[in-house]
Structure 1
Amino acid sequence: MVEPVRTRGGIRGVAAESVLVGAGGRAILLQLAHPAVARGVARHSDFVHAPLRRLTSTLDYIYLVVFGTADERASARQHVERAHAPVRGPAEDGAPSYAADDPTLQLWVAATLYDSAMAMHERVLPPLPDDEAERVYREYAVLGEALGMPPALWPATRADFGVWWADRLAELPIGDDARRVARDLLHPQGPGAPVWLRTVMPIARLLTTGLLDERQRAGFGLPWSPRRQAVFEVVMRVTRILWPLLPPGLRHAPAIRSLRRHRSRSRRG
C-alpha cells in the first residue's frame, strides 16, 4: 500500500479521492479556453491522437507533487520542464504569443485544477469546514509552484481567488483552437483511442459538460438540455451516496497505481 494516501487533511486528503478524476475533462477544457494555452496545445501536443496521455501525465504530476518525496517532486518538475521547453511561439495574426513556462499560464493551469477539483468535491463529498477548505486552497498553490510559478501569484485566500477567478472567466474567450481541440478530445478516434475509451466517453462528456456553466458550454459548442441535466443530477446523486461506501483502496486507486508505477520505473533506472 502506498503510504501517502493515508494522510489526513489538506490537499492530500482531497487529491487522494479518485472521484475527482471525473472533473479532469472540465479542467482540460478550461485550460484550453485560455487562448495562449489553446495555441500551444494545438501546435505542440499530440494528446488528441493519444487522448489518455495528457490526463495520465497530469494525474501523475499531481500525485507526485502532492504525495511524493522531495526527489520525486523534483523529478516531476524536471519531466514537465523538458516537455514544455519547446512549447513557445510568437504572436501572429491577432493570436497571442505563448510559452509553457509563462508564470501566468502556470497560474491558470493550477487554478483550473483547483477549481475543477472543488466543483466535483462539492457535489459528491462531504463539505469541508471553512478552516480546512482554506488550508486545502493554500496548499493547491504547490501545483503551480512546482512548475515555477512565483508563490505571490496565487491569490492569498479563497475569497480572493473567487474574485480573481470570476473576473478571468468573464473575460475569457473560447476560440477556434480551443473548440477544435475540445471536439477531438471529447470524441476520440483513431488508434490512440481504444474501444473501451470510446465506450466510456458518453459518461465523460456528460460529466465534463455538466460541470461547466452555460457560457462555457456555449463557447465550446457543447449540447445540453433539461434531459441531460436530469441525467447528470442522477449520476451525481448516486455517486454521492455510493462513494463513501467504497474501501479506501478503490477510492485512492489512481494515486496508488501512479506512485507505484513511478517508483517501479525509478528502481529499474
Structure 2
Amino acid sequence: MDRPLDRYVRDGAIVAGGAAAILLQVADPVVARGVAGHSAFATDPMRRLRHTLTFVYGALAGDARQRDRVAALTDRAHDGVPGARDAEHQLWVAATLYATGRAVQERLRGPLPPGLDGEILAASAMLGTVLQVPAERWPADRAAFDAYWRDAVAALEVGDDARAIARDLLHPRRAPWWMRAGMPLVRAVTPTLLPAPIAEAYGFALRDARVAWAILRALTRITPWRLRSLPARHLLAALG
C-alpha cells in the first residue's frame, strides 16, 4: 500500500477535481443529455458523488471481483440512457477522470515524476475497459493522451443541459453541512482545472484561485493519511 500509485489512487484529496471532471464530461452534449435526464444533482448530490467515487476506487484500486461488481453496477445505472454504453463517450468520461486527477495532484504537490505519471496513465485505462472501451482505444503514452485530449476538447459544446448541471452541482440545494462548507473552495478551484475555452463557455470568471489552492494544500498536509484514504476504504468495503 506504500507504492506511489496506490497512494495516488486512494488519496481522498483527488475529490477536489470531481466537479471539474463532471463539467468536462457534460460538455459532451450526449453525456449531458444522459445526466440531465437520469441524474439528480439538485436533490441528491451525495448519491452522484458516492457512485462516482465507487466507480473510480473499484476500477483502479479494487480486485478483479470488485471491478466486475462496479462494472455491473455502472452498466445497470446506464440502462436506458442514450449513448451511455457507447465506447467513444465512455472513453471521454475516463479521460476526464485521469486528467483532472493528475491536475489536482500537480496543484497540490507539484509535477508528477514521469515514471509515476506513466503508471497512472496505464492504470487509468481500467476506467474505460471495465465497461465498453476496448483496451486499444486508451492512449498508449502521455503524447498520445495529449493529442487525444486536444482533439476531444476542441469538439466539446457546452449547452443548456451542461449549464443547468453546473448550477446544480456547484450550488446544491440539498447537501450535508460538510459538503456545503466545502463548496466555496470547490467553486474557486473548479474553473482553474478546466481548459480556458470550456471555463468561459460555462460563464466562469478566469481567476488563479491561489488562496483556495493554498488552503487545500495546507489541509492536505495536516490531514492524516488514514483520514484521507477513508473514502477509498469505506467504498471498497461496500463493494464486498
TM over 0.5: yes
* Residue 190 (structure 2) aligns with: 208
One of 69, 77, 84 as aligned partner of 1:75:
69
Worse overlay, 233-242 or 116-125? 233-242
2:18 and 2:227 map into 1 onto residues whose CA distance is: 18
One of 119, 138, 142 as aligned partner of 2:126:
142
Which stretches in structure 2 are left out of the alignment for 5+ residues? none
Superposed displacement of residue 171, structure 1: 2.5
Residue 54 (str. 1) matches residue 36 (str. 2): no
Code of the residue aligned with 2:100 in structure 1: it is S
1:241 and 1:43 map into 2 onto residues whose CA distance is: 38
Paired residues, number: 240
* Residue 238 (structure 2) aligns with: 261
Worse overlay, 34-43 or 198-207? 198-207
Superposed displacement of residue 244, structure 1: 4.0
TM-score (norm 1): 0.83
1:203 and 1:13 map into 2 onto residues whose CA distance is: 23
Alpha-carbon RMSD: 1.8
One of 1, 6, 9 as aligned partner of 2:4:
9
1:179 and 1:15 map into 2 onto residues whose CA distance is: 29
Superposed displacement of residue 81, structure 1: 0.6
2:2 and 2:68 map into 1 onto residues whose CA distance is: 21
Structure number with larger C-alpha Rg: 1
Which stretches in structure 1 are left out of the alignment for 5+ residues? 1-5, 89-98, 264-269
Superposed displacement of residue 166, structure 1: 1.2
The 5 A counterparts of 1:224-239 are 224-225=206-207, 229=208, 232-239=209-216
1:124 and 1:197 map into 2 onto residues whose CA distance is: 20
* Residue 114 (structure 1) aligns with: 98
2:4 and 2:50 map into 1 onto residues whose CA distance is: 24
Secondary structure of the structure 2 residue equivalent to 1:208: helix
Code of the residue aligned with 1:63 in structure 2: it is Y
Residues 246 and 195 (structure 1), Cα distance of their counterparts in 2 relative to 1, 3 Å cut = closer
Q: Percent identity, aligned pairs only?
A: 40
* Residue 113 (structure 2) aligns with: 129
Per-residue Cα deviation, 1:79-122 (whole angstroms, up to 9, x for no partner) = 1111101111xxxxxxxxxx110000110000000000011011
Report if the CA contact (8 A) 2:91-2:133 is conserved.
yes
Per-residue Cα deviation, 1:144-195 (whole angstroms, up to 9, x for no partner) = 1011210111111111111110121123111111111111221111xx4344
Superposed displacement of residue 243, structure 1: 2.7
Residue 30 (str. 1) matches residue 47 (str. 2): no
TM-score (norm 2): 0.92
Superposed displacement of residue 198, structure 1: 3.0
1:235 and 1:195 map into 2 onto residues whose CA distance is: 19
* Residue 243 (structure 1) aligns with: 220
1:179 and 1:126 map into 2 onto residues whose CA distance is: 31
